[in-house]
Structure 1
Amino acid sequence: MNIQLIRNATLWLEYAGLNILVDPMLMDKGSMPAFQNTPNALRNPLVSLPDIETDILNPDLLLVTHTHPDHWDEAAARQLRKDIPLICQPGDEHVFIEAGFTNVTPVEVQHKHHSIRFARTSGHHGTGEIGKRMGNVSGFVLEAAGEPVTYIAGDTIWCDEPAEAIRTYHPEVIVVNAGGARFLQGDPITMHGPDVAAVKRAAPSAHLIAVHMDAINHCMTSRVELAAYLASVQLDGNVFIPQDGESLEFGGKA
């Protein structure tokens, strides 16, 4: 299994013979204003798409955890072919159908596409009133013969739901959104250093990958800061923190 970070939470997975594009944010650098009520006014995305050979406009499957604009944007809706099968969370399907996509499957619990089993998980996109206002978010666990069980946690903090997903599915590869995104008030709405450390402690044998950093204005935890925090709690070298465009390869079960 090969997993490539494109930018932010956008991933390219080569899994069980399929090319899967996750949470495509394809807009040009600076195309979108800063998120409101956040610590700075930098326009999003902060960085351009990397110069890569991967043909990200022609995946076999689209997987969208939720429709916040740093996970699904107008550029993706415009540029991607409308006949690509698309998996999403319940309640989001109208966004894709209205954009012209013709093969949309909302997953309530589980769904099988070709040889891959997808199980939807949940989480909390923040705490308190802010968490409620952020709406529903999902993650997905992928399973297929000969491939590592892979858990894409989505935009969640560390809470009961990702802990339960780890206990239930025993993932061998976990991808977390670790930018510590936040507003001027309240707690982080995605994982920061202590959350990433908690995931690693809950799944010590899993390959843990941290993404969703250095691309959006309200993500206040950088790659450098995350690495420093993990070193401070004796977890340096235990978490992959890829750069944009970087690929990682993992073996599956025999």
Structure 2
Amino acid sequence: MSARAVANEFAKMKHLRIGLVAAVLVIAVSLLSLYTVVSSPQFSPEEPGAWNALLAGMSLGIPLVSPLLLAVIASRQTDIEHTGNGWLLQSTAGITPGGICRAKLAALGTVVTISTLATCLFVLVLGKLLAGILVAVPLGHWAGFTLCVLVVNLAVLALHILLSAKVENQLVALGVGVFGCVMAVFSQGLPAAAAHLTPWGYYALIKAADYEGDRYVSLPLSYPSIAVLAVVAGALFALITFRFDRQEA
């Protein structure tokens, strides 16, 4: 992967409206998080666990929309290589198919990182300004949740870049994205061991808060599982893209 290849990917984004899709992701998750607060009759901005309502909203909103929108982002950025014969054109410039995929992950990963951080920050601001939460923000738990969401989002993004690169019909990638949304939500009702079986199940492992009894409570985050996911996803992405390097464009 070269800086030139990454710069090329950023240039392509201007015509593919990747920023618009990322903005939809931020807005959709933020509104779903705020809806959790508005729709809860037990919510009080003065109770000690008031921020847990927003964390619970994000824990539900992110699995509902992220898998599909990440699939859309990866598909749009990769489909241009299929339709414009970009694999061959860039190989003549010395950029291998695997190098293109790694450049796409670097470029799109930057966008996903910014959108993920923006989402968690925006929800925090909404909690202060619109929900009027008066208690102190649990910054440690909030930051940990943000980091875990980022890792899972990047892992799912890497999966979809590989899928979109390998399968020319992008309806397949989008169908997998819809399936991912279903699995991400469904996994929240499964045992933790079962949630480890799919990339989307990890959204259930980073659930930061939930409704229990008559109030929202904070939940522990599965940091070891997320760390393993980061290592395994990174290693598999590197291995598969290096195999792409040995294939003809």
Q: What's the TM-score, normalizing by structure 1?
A: 0.26
Greater relative CO, 1 or 2 (CA 8 Å, sep 6+): 2
Question: If you compute each CA radius of gyration, which structure gives the higher value, 1 or 2?
Answer: 2
Q: What's the TM-score, normalizing by structure 2?
A: 0.26
Q: Higher helix fraction: Structure 1 or Structure 2?
A: 2
